[in-house]
């Protein structure tokens, strides 16, 4: 069975995470595998994100609303992408494009997107 995770980041205490939580619940992601940080994405020094990365297992699947939920710094996002996909062996599933692309096309799309500079 695939280990499935959800990551939510909202930039401020005023932003509402409810829609992201509901979307992950509809995807049957166990609540213990949904991680949330309420802080800026300026770096990856986020407690829940770090805890999630430690718990992730090979062949896991990480759902996120969009790539900007990972962070704001392009180079750091690329580094985290590399760590998660290469070192941890985790795949990504972006919820905002789930109805547009199949999982295989999502991977291709995301790789091309991240290669653009």
Structure letter (DSSP) for residue 68? G
CB 31 within 8 A of CB 63: no
Q: What is the pLDDT of residues 37-58, one digit of tens each?
A: 988 778 888 999 999 999 999 9
Is residue 31 among the annotated active site residues?
no
Q: Assign 78 to helix, strand or coil.
A: helix
Mean pLDDT of 29-42: 90
| pTM > 0.75 | yes
> Which of these is catalytic: 11, 28, 31, 66?
11
- What is the rounded distance in angstroms from the CA atom of residue 12 to the CA atom of residue 10? 6
Domains of the chain: 4-115 (3.40.50.1390)
Q: What is the pLDDT of residues 80-111, one digit of tens each?
A: 888 898 899 998 887 765 555 556 666 666 66
């Amino acid at each position: 069975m695939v280990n499935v995770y959800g990551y939510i980041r909202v930039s401020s205490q005023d932003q509402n995470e409810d829609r992201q939580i509901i979307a992950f619940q509809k995807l049957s992601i166990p609540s213990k595998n949904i991680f949330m940080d309420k802080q800026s994405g300026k770096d990856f020094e986020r407690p829940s994100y770090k805890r999630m990365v430690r718990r992730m297992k090979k062949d896991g699947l990480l759902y996120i609303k969009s790539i900007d939920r990972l962070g704001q710094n392009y180079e750091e996002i690329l580094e985290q992408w590399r760590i998660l996909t290469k070192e941890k062996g985790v795949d990504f599933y972006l919820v905002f494009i789930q109805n547009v692309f199949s999982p295989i096309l999502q991977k291709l799309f995301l790789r091309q997107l991240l290669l653009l500079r």
